[in-house]
A and B are shown apart, each in its own frame.
Chain A
């Protein structure tokens, strides 16, 4: 958006805050069995209320004052501080672990190692079937034996009176090892052989027609190999917990994407009822997939119980690199064959990534090619290569970020070979149905997004001849790439709504705010569903004692909360009608006959038959009404293919002297269903694009191939984008509600990041004539 557009949004936001917020149209309850029925939700039918307006973040004032409490900021009397010591070999056995100096060090309360740690149950890993709410990312025992599984594994925890004392004592821990042969590089892992990736016990391989034969028969084709490095999330808040035992009850102040999952998983490991563990996480200083359960959760809880004191365990930045994983390295083959008119006939997308033998987490990179181009034939498959490295983890758009780099680079290469505009090539291969399986898309406006984006970006000014635009030492070029991400509503969502006699409603969901604007956007939805002013609703979240099984992953949380809230508001309206007394304007009306409006319920066919919530509760003599509702199983995904779409356009300047790439302009053109809040949505789109810029140009976790140790385990050496790397990011969107999604909105947390690296690579090719198939595109690759 332009500055003027941004200013307009701010103005609108201010105007919104002043207006009464009472829509004149009663909003009916969403009927049961809505999932899978088009336009069942009135908020997906163009209802105008708070949804769709640019409300400023409700937690903004707290955050800008520094008053938002994060996990490492909860105080307890008698709090002890923890520090960790890490292994320095990738694989083997500890033959000695000298803790004497640490134990004698001033202020030390406890040194915990495998020798004195209490016996623990195995870690239940993340459960891909979603049956159990496991959120462990390594199926390994936590400090139970002398085995070392990777270079950087915690081998001892030191507890001391101060952080300084703990850090110093941890530096005195000395281990000796009997090293065993280890696979410490991706190349070595590939050389040792790969095995097919399975999800739910089934290979993800997709075969349609004879793709290799169709490829060979294609008039024009590309067939290339693309390489991507490991990445780390590097949330600015490092992982941290503050834990305290109250008798048999464990209190965990956490920074997590899964409060209930963390409580459940800790309960399994510690052997206690998860209901006796309360995990809260009101603010999360960035997640992106990595704020899951790692060993520090377990170690802090164990140390606290052993020492009998509350414990804070905040990972150092180095610790974040050593013991929490990121995106794995990958090598992919993408081949695309087409007719001379650009009609795609074959897509082959296969590749392998590095993972550990104890990993529960897949990186399904070939799925990136599964749902987009109308091709006759496909072979798509992902395989794994085992390495003895830190566990890989879900990182913003697993599979897709690197899968799209390969696919969308290859499509650009194909356009070049065809002598065709890359946007035209994509438009010629648009499809109304999913090419795999044939289901219709719930709402696909990718072509509109491409055309609107090209127009706004000035794509017609792009020179089709690579290396032809020069400005002094700088070579300029434009590139584009598709973005896409699936819609997902995970089962288990539930919400509780408390309506009080003063006409206020508070919803509670065990969901998460990591910067997405969760409470703000869900408050807008709740206000519209109940016909209340925005300042009369609130949404509580981030507490495992609240209802629902939410995991803030896969861009699924908004849909999950949405599905739970629409059920809970229906139940609330139903219960309210049971309280209606004779003499009420609502008397005799059924749930199907009423809607929420003006702070109460009204007859749909005669809004003058209205009674406020205060009045209904007062007549019934009730101080409050509390209801719960559970999201229906996600049947909307059964018969239609639900994806978001869009395109990234970017302009780069590459120095012919240094090889440095500067991104000078970016536009995202997005088709994500209804935009619930243009401010927070724009922020998420921009954030994904910025993370994509890092993947494109600077980010790489560098392992020492000899010993599997990360050598750039700091923010000084691992380069995330900084202010000067990020130009103003322009955004437009179609804003066409998805008829099958709650409130018409598909998730957006990961969408924009998927196509950034290929858009940059394609722009660099347009600028320089150099095709780089190996991320990040650092200066030396362009010299």
Chain B
């Protein structure tokens, strides 16, 4: 099934698309590519644990059919650290207690990266007062609203917000 632009690229490596069109991008990652860092929390697009970056945008991989991603560039949690050096956001999650059990964590981290790209593009959120502004910020409720698609049942929200805010401080002005 590669006639529409070849395989999907995952963390820089090509991965063949599945024969079964029902396979989600999430299950392709977990069951065929052996990349278990992306988590299955609900398989219904409601919890955000499966969030990955596709061409820099955050995507719920459980709602994405793998066969639709030919030629696209997928980055998962495993693709964020360079060798043994973690991404600054990964380090910030440890320093700020941005998790307990760790299950929602990869999705939170990927989501935060995609969110920041949206902010930098000036994409408004539900709580954005000035919809016409060219850039958005993370002040007030913005960060928490924009991360609200990623549930954390352990309740590490304060730490996650602190980690994201610290990592991206200065990037929104």
Residues of A within 8 A of B (CB): 3, 6, 10, 13, 56-57, 59-70, 72-73, 75, 162-165, 168, 233-238, 283-288, 314, 316-317, 514-517, 679-680, 682-684, 686-691, 714-716, 720-726, 728-729
Contacts and interface: CB of A to CB of B under 8 A. Distances in A.
B101 A237 contact: yes
Contacts of B99: 60, 63-64, 515
Contacts of A237: 39, 41, 101, 103
B40 interface: yes
Contact of B157 (A70, A234, A726): A726
Contact of B77 (A13, A65, A75, A721): A65
B56 interface: no
> Which 6 A-B pairs give the minimum distances between C-beta atoms?
A66-B37, A515-B100, A690-B155, A285-B103, A63-B102, A515-B101
Interface in B141-163: 141, 143-145, 147-162
Contacts of B47: 236, 317, 715
A690 B153 CA distance: 8
B44 interface: yes
A714 to B, nearest CB: 6
A235 B46 contact: no
A64 B90 contact: yes
Contacts of A59: 102
Contact of A689 (B46, B97, B150, B155): B155
Given A63-B102, A70-B36, A728-B158, 18 more contacts: A64-B106, A66-B39, A164-B23, A283-B103, A285-B104, A316-B43, A317-B46, A514-B101, A515-B99, A516-B100, A679-B97, A686-B157, A686-B158, A716-B44, A716-B46, A720-B151, A723-B157, A726-B157
Interface in B110-147: 127, 141, 143-145, 147
B145 A723 contact: yes
B153 A236 contact: yes
Contacts of A728: 158
Nearest to B27: A163
Contact of B148 (A56, A73, A724): A724
A62 B90 CA distance: 10
B87 to A, nearest CB: 8
Contact-size category for B: 35 or more
B148 A10 contact: no
A751 B12 CA distance: 46
Contacts of A60: 93-94, 99
B95 interface: yes
Given A690-B155, A726-B157, A715 B42 contact: yes
A285 B101 contact: yes
A397 to B, nearest CB: 14
Interface of B: 20, 22-23, 27, 30-31, 34-47, 49, 76-78, 80-81, 86, 90-91, 93-106, 109, 127, 141, 143-145, 147-162
24 contacts: A3-B162, A64-B90, A65-B90, A66-B76, A67-B78, A70-B103, A73-B36, A162-B31, A235-B103, A237-B101, A238-B42, A283-B102, A284-B101, A286-B100, A287-B101, A683-B100, A683-B154, A683-B156, A687-B155, A689-B155, A716-B45, A720-B151, A722-B149, A726-B157
Nearest to B21: A164
Given A10-B95, A73-B36, A683-B97, A714 B106 contact: no
Contacts of B38: 66
Given A236-B153, A715-B46, A720-B151, A163 B100 contact: no
Q: Mostly helix, strand, loop or mixed at chain B's interface?
A: loop
B30 A73 contact: yes
A515 B78 contact: no
A83 to B, nearest CB: 12
A426 B45 CA distance: 45
A723 B90 contact: no
A317 B158 contact: no
Contact of B31 (A10, A163, A234, A724): A163
A314 B42 CA distance: 11
Given A61-B94, A714-B42, A726-B144, A236 B162 contact: no
Nearest to B81: A65
Nearest to A54: B97
A59 B41 CA distance: 21
Contact of B36 (A69, A164, A234): A69
A21 B125 CA distance: 47
A722 B100 contact: no
Given A66-B76, A724-B144, A236 B36 contact: no
A288 B77 contact: no
Contact of A236 (B31, B37, B152): B152
B16 to A, nearest CB: 15
A164 B20 contact: yes
A236 B151 contact: yes
A164 B22 contact: yes
Contacts of B154: 286, 515, 683, 687
A673 to B, nearest CB: 21
Nearest to B98: A64
Contact of B155 (A68, A283, A516, A688): A688
Contacts of B43: 316-317
A721 B141 contact: no
A64 B167 CA distance: 14
A75 B101 CA distance: 21
Contact of B37 (A3, A65, A716): A65
A634 to B, nearest CB: 27
A490 B44 CA distance: 39
B34 A75 contact: yes
B89 to A, nearest CB: 8
Contacts of A236: 39, 41, 47, 49, 101, 103-104, 151-153
Contacts of B44: 317, 714-716
A516 B34 CA distance: 28
Contacts of A684: 100
A168 B49 CA distance: 23
B42 A722 contact: no
Contacts of B144: 723-724, 726
Contacts of A729: 158
A52 B64 CA distance: 46
Contacts of B141: 724
A3 B161 CA distance: 11
A66 B158 contact: no
